Amino acid sequence: MKHRNPNRALLFSTMLAMAMPGIAPGQAGPQDRWVIEPDLKFGSAGSGSGQLSMPRSIAIDSNFLYVADHYNDRIQVFVKNGLYTNSFFGLSRPSGIAVDGTHVYVSDSGNSRVRVFSKNGTFVRMWGSQGSGPGQFKGGGLTAFESPSGIAVDADSVYVVDLGNNRIQVFSKDGIFVRQWGSFGTVAGQFNAPESVAVDQQYVYVADALNYRVQVFKKDGTYVRAWQLPVATAWNGNAIFVEGMSLDAHCVYVCFGFNPGTSSAWTPHIIAYDKFGTMLWKWTNSSSTGPFTYPSGIAIDNPFMYVVDYGGNFVQPFRRVFRTLGPLEPDPIPLTDIVSVSQRSGTAVLDVDYLAADENDSNVTVYAAAFVTETTNAVPSLNDIIPMRAFLEGTSSNIGPGIATGAVHRLSWDMDADGVTNRIAQYGDLKVALMARDQRDLLDLHFLSIPALGTNAALTINRAPLHEADFLPVWFWWLAAGDSNVALNAGQVLGVGGDFDGQLLAQGTNTTAAGRAFLFSRMNLREATADELRRAREGTTPGTVLQWTPRREPPAPGSKVNAINFVTSPTNGWWVVPLP
């Protein structure tokens, strides 16, 4: 048997195309997503204050939004509700923009330099000139291939995309050249028209546009990994622009436009990946009536995502929400980030370092599982899971309840002890998942109180239906936790003890009727009756179902709600009521 190093983390949020990042069961998997905030959209075409002309990028701090107003040769500053405050001038075709605690850093592309401002717009310093030497930038022409392009900052350094020279340059915040890496080409570490850059505590992420990929490097320029963007490889002169990229603690967000082949149809995308390159969701807008026409910049500020639309000359905010109604700013879900995965040479021991994060809780419950899937973005099933139970060297204390957030924890997993050798020929075929849970239950349920009207009695019922994909993460959670009421046998989950002893509860990706009853009973719920569902759909109008289009909140597009916000269409799925 060959021993290879697993190098990907599998997130449960890959189960659905529009799932959001998160490795928590149920409530933190498919339900967390972004929705449009129509009232917060701002900007229009023009050159007046608050108007935009082909905006290229956006940056955000605790108070303000900074927009690179490309063809108006300025930076415009807005309050987060879209109210214009002031502008920075002295620029020519600004492309990239980044902020830290005190300064605003701008890729002054038309002048082949970086300019730095205080946050009130006072000029501080600049560096760079036209050329290919250290600290110089090849570009300066007012074309689509301006250089410098993207820019990012961390605590010590400024990272600048030198698009024309196909490299990344790193400077101190005083503008002193530190290092560079990259050259023209297609192999790992080379670039073909890189456009955007983002940094976190460990890595530098570069959108390598005409190689159709994102490349990841250590901060010294050492190549780490890459993943391909989901576009065709044909280049017709203006096929792809990866104009915007942003990060949060767990995800890489990329916005780009793609013109396939010789077609004149421009297809814009926003895609979220985990930091190992697994696609979590893709938002494709093929209509001019959609939320964006050409997304060129993106910034994340929980619970908001701000997207700059180059073609539409506006900024469109999106809000992170749960699928069900809930509050507009819900308690953020706990998340995990796999920092590193490495197999000890010549052994069956896998060391996994992970970070648990939760904005509201100092500790969470975490369990781990491995999956064997043949395809990178395959939907995991119960046939794929290998619960991780055998931990060495005291690392079993880093799994279970009471795991501190904000700290890196190690798991040293004995793969042979958990039967991995009986499942796969190469350890490198494994994908590791860390699942986190806070005080909430395993399903994302928002209950509505239906009033008593006419002959209809009062009723409490969940607002939006549950679907098959909502149940699968719960089985993964119970299996990873070693729950004594379930057992896994050849991809089947069987009941152990009690009323469900020996019954088939789930298989593959599907949950049986007995499995739903088991799951609901564990959560002190039962499935709603047909009469209860009828009463909920009628809501405040007994005998009639009035349907309205949801204005802002989920459910998914195409759904209808009644006057009390109960989802009346579509009617497939399962509704539950709480037991006394």
Q: How does pLDDT run across 7-46, given as a tens digit for each residue?
A: 222 223 222 222 222 222 223 333 346 778 888 899 999 9
> CA 204, CA 186: separation in Å to the nearest integer?
18
Among 411, 437, 463, the domain boundary falls at 437
Q: Is the pLDDT of residue 267 over 90?
A: no
Residue 174 in this model has a pLDDT that exceeds 70? yes
Per-residue model confidence (pLDDT) at position 374: 65
The average pLDDT across 157-169 equals 95
Q: Please give the backbone phi and psi of residue 457, each rounded to the nearest 5 degrees, phi first.
A: -75, 160
**pLDDT for the residue numbered 140:** 46
At residue 9, the pLDDT reads 26
Residue range 286-291: mean pLDDT, rounded:
62
What is the 8-class DSSP label of residue 373? -
- What value does the mean pLDDT of the chain take? 84
Please tell me whether residues 390 and 513 are part of one structural domain.
no
In a domain, 8, yes or no: no
Q: Is residue 328 part of a domain?
A: no
Q: Which of 23-27, 139-143, 420-424, 491-495 has the lowest mean pLDDT?
A: 23-27
Q: What is the percent of the chain where pLDDT is above 70?
A: 84
Residue type, position 392, single letter: L
| For residue 368, pLDDT beyond 90 | yes
302 and 403 share one domain? no
Q: Establish if 23 belongs to a structural domain.
A: no
Total domain count, the chain? 3
Q: Clarify whether residues 264 and 364 are in a common domain.
A: no
Residue 286 has a pLDDT of 59
Residues 141 and 239 in one domain: yes
Interacting residues of 383 by C-beta distance below 8 A, sequence separation 6+:
490, 491, 508
**426-459 residue pLDDT tens:** 666 688 888 998 888 888 788 888 888 888 889 9
pLDDT score at 321: 65
H or E segment at 128? none
Confirm whether 41 is domain-assigned: yes
pLDDT band at 389 (very low <50, low <70, confident <90, very high): very high
Q: Tell whether 431 and 451 lie within a shared domain.
A: no
Asked if residue 304 belongs to a domain, the reply is: yes
pLDDT of residue 23: 29
3 occurs within a structural domain: no
pLDDT computed for residue 22 by the predictor: 29
Q: Mean pLDDT lowest for which of 147-161, 253-267, 408-422, 452-466? A: 253-267
E-strand ranges in 229-331 read 240-247, 251-258, 267-274, 279-284, 295-301, 304-309, 314-322
Q: What percent of the chain has pLDDT over 90?
A: 55
With 90 as the cut, is the pLDDT of residue 341 above it? no
Please answer whether residues 351 and 392 qualify as being in contact, where contact means their C-beta atoms are separated by less than 8 angstroms: no
- Window from 2-16, 210-224, 416-430, 505-519 with minimum mean pLDDT: 2-16
pLDDT, one tens digit per residue, over 463-513 is 889 999 889 999 999 999 999 999 999 999 999 999 999 999 999 999 999
Q: How far apart are CA 10 and CA 433, in angstroms?
A: 5
Evaluate if residue 253 carries a pLDDT over 50.
yes
Based on the fold, state whether residues 467 and 381 are members of the same structural domain: no
Which residue type is seen at 240?
Answer: I
What is the model's pLDDT at position 128?
95
Do 556 and 456 fall within a single domain? yes
Reply yes or no on whether the pLDDT at 231 is more than 80: no
Structure-token match 């002048």, residue found: 111
Give the whole-angstrom CA distance, residue 41 versus residue 290.
13
Domain membership of residue 360 (yes or no) is yes
565 in the same domain as 494: yes
Q: Which of 19-28, 248-257, 330-339, 568-577 has the highest mean pLDDT?
A: 568-577
Phi-psi category of 90—alpha, beta or left, where left has phi over 0 and alpha has psi -120 to 50? left
Which pTM value belongs to this model?
Answer: 0.71
**pLDDT at position 3 over 80:** no
- Cis bond upstream, residue 148 (ω within 30): yes
Q: Give me the DSSP letters along 392-428.
A: -TTGGGGSEEEEETTSEEEEEEETTTTTGGGT-SBGG
Query: Residue 542 has what pLDDT?
Result: 84
Report, as an integer, the average pLDDT of 163-177.
96
- Mean pLDDT score, 335-349: 86
> Are 377 and 270 found together in one domain?
no
pLDDT of residue 331 exceeding 70, the answer is: no
Average pLDDT value for residue range 99-109? 96
With b for 16 or more beta-carbon neighbours within 10 A and e for fewer, the 77-86 pattern comes to bbebebebee
Any domain includes 423: yes
Range(s) of the domain holding residue 111 = 32-322
**Same-domain status, 349 and 482:** no
Q: Are residues 317 and 352 in the same domain?
A: no
Q: Residue 416's pLDDT is what?
A: 92
pLDDT higher than 70, residue 564 = yes
pLDDT at 481: 95
Last residue of a domain, one of 407, 437, 467: 437
CA distances from 103 to 88, 106, 119, 425 (A): 12, 10, 6, 53
The residue from 271, 301, 322 where one domain ends is 322
Shared domain for 102 and 219, answered yes or no, is yes
